[in-house]
Amino acid sequence: MLNWNDVIKYANHGNLAPERRVEKTDDEWRVQLSEEEFRVTRGKGTEGRFTGEHCSRYDPGIYSCVCCDTKLFDSGEKFDSKTGWPSFTQPVQPNAIKYEKDGGFGMVRIEVMCNVCDAHLGHIFPDGPAPSGLRYCINSVSLKKLENEK
């Protein structure tokens, strides 16, 4: 189980290697993604609070990257953080997520990205529930829900 010390270590010293890599040009991503998906995942944007389709979904399944279909989060790790974005306590695998320091908006946060295609997903915070204490705060638009898959 990942914890905040692991996240800081990866952000400072490098991430685990992904199982594969997907790299495309911005033009290739624009053909594949909606305008909002591109703005958030490739342009490091943020969707509005309580606007995403996955914010209040808790049905069983796996959430994958909207860009490359990499499995990222299991619905069993999802919780209601009351922040307005889907929140998870753990990724499906430690190497599914990439962590980088983000100094935007006058603060230092840890950005989380798909480790396979570098899609911006959101940020992680150390204020989640036990036992990990992690809260992956994720943009709905960066996720695709895989139905009937566990």
* Residues involved in catalysis: 137
Q: Quick check: helix, strand or coil at residue 20?
A: coil
Q: Report which residue type is found at 22.
A: V
What's the token pair of residue 48? 């509005």
Please list, residue by residue across 102-135, b when 16 or more beta carbons sit within 10 angstroms of its beta carbon and e when fewer do: beeeeeebbbbbbbbbbbbbbbbbeebeeebebb
* Residue closest to 58 by CA, chosen among 80, 85, 91: 80
DSSP letter, residue 115: T
